[in-house]
Structure 1
Amino acid sequence: MSSREPEQVTGGLIIFLNGTSSSGKSSLAVELAGILDGPCFHMPVDAFHAMRSKPELTPDQLPVVLRRTWMGFHRAVAGMAAAGNNIIVDHILSEPWRLDDCLDLFAPQDVVLVKVHCPLPELERREKARGNRPAGLAALQFDRVHAHGVYDIECDTSSASPLECAHLIRDFLRHRPRPTAFERMRKT
């Protein structure tokens, strides 16, 4: 193969962790990356928000900038997976358009959608302990994040540690059924 011929690749797996703020997605992603076979990338949406410069935005500008950030994040994940990379996505599907955008972009057979949840009182306790999230953010997201209701697997981070959840997901990957949650949602 010459240096000019592109390598033939198949799409990488996207392990899509969806949950409210403070649900434990990032801790779970770190543990999961440590026990999976082969290399993978942890792509948290918070990292994309952190990359954005911090100019003063008017209330009218903020939603536009946030939406573009989320859309860019989705496309970056899709591009990394299309190049054959395995990805652990740390996400918050609190608005229906975010899920629709991902359904349009990701190869549905290559996505494992994971529900990451815990009871609201525990989310509020974690949010307060963190101190770096607006009070009430998890409560605002609580009913919206999982409204679509379709998952491949779920983890309750109030009853299992991040490492225990990571093992649950890793074991699920060995025998994951078809159609996937993304395949089922694409049909509807």
Structure 2
Amino acid sequence: MIIFLNGTSSSGKSSIAKELLAVLDETCFHMPVDAFHAMRSRHELTEEQLHVVLRHTWMGFHRAVAGMAAAGNTVVVDHVLSEPWRLRDCLALFPPQDVVLVGVHCPLPELERREQARGDRPPGLAARQINQVHGHGTYDIECDTGSTSPLDCARQIKTFLPRRPAPTAFERLRAAPLTVPAAVS
């Protein structure tokens, strides 16, 4: 199974993932895309080269998640679907019946406060991402980290898992034409 946490930067995805690993009964792995970015060497790149490297990083991340899940592992994915191709790539790679798509929401003022407190994100990143990240509009379950703690979000997800309906959000997204707002990184 792939528990797919999608939300803007600073929305609380990693905090929920950490709590999910603690509350879920089975062994699972947290695979945050930030870890893949952190593995990359740092070289001077032109804007165009950087765009290509970032795209390849995301594509490799998607394939690593698919590989872990195909090997029988439960994977908690921490992701930002801020470009339509990312969702299309995941839809093509992941068995849609095995994905639980979780919308991680947070009010913009709180996102901005978190960004400032973190200091490791460009100011306004979450504001630029918010419409694109949730533009596909379909989730299996949603949570709001502005009003709910990461632990309570994780508990809500755990409670939802045994009674998740079919078709899943991924199955519905695969069956429908994908229309999302213009892309932002």
Q: TM-score range by the shorter chain?
A: over 0.9
1:140 paired with 2:128, answer yes
Given the alignment of the two structures, is residue 18 of structure 1 paired with residue 31 of structure 2, yes or no? no
The alignment-based identity, stated in percent, is 75
State the TM-score, normalizing by the size of structure 1: 0.93
1:5 is matched with which residue? Answer: none
Shift of 1:60: 1.3
1:112 partner amino acid = V
Q: State how far apart, in whole Å, the 1-side matches of 2:59 and 2:31 are.
A: 14
| RMSD of aligned residue pairs (Cα, Å) | 0.5
Say if 2:47 is the partner of 1:59.
yes
Q: Max radius of gyration: which structure?
A: 1
What amino acid is the match of 1:15? I
SS in 1 for 2:156: helix
Return 5+ residue gaps in structure 2 as ranges: 177-185
Give every structure 1 segment of 4 or more consecutive aligned residues whose post-TM-superposition deviation is greater than 3 Å: none
Report the counterpart of residue 6 of structure 1 in structure 2.
none
Deviation track 1:119-177 (CA, whole Å, cap 9, x = no partner) reads: 11110000001111111111110111000000000000011000000000000002111
The one-character-per-residue Cα deviations of 1:50-95 (angstroms, maximum 9, x if unpaired) are 0000011111101000000000000000000000000000000000
Q: Report SS of the residue matched to 2:100.
A: strand
| 1:108 and 2:91 aligned | no
User: Of the candidates 31, 34, 40, which is equivalent to residue 43 of structure 1?
Assistant: 31
How many residues were matched structurally? 176
Give the gaps of 5 or more residues in structure 1.
1-12
Matched, 1:149 2:149: no
Counterpart of 2:156, as a letter, is L
Structure 1 partner of 2:119: 131
Counterparts of 1:94 and 1:79 in 2: how far apart (Å)?
Answer: 23
The whole-number CA distance in structure 2 between the counterparts of 1:109 and 1:38 is 19
Normalising by structure 2, we get a TM-score of: 0.94
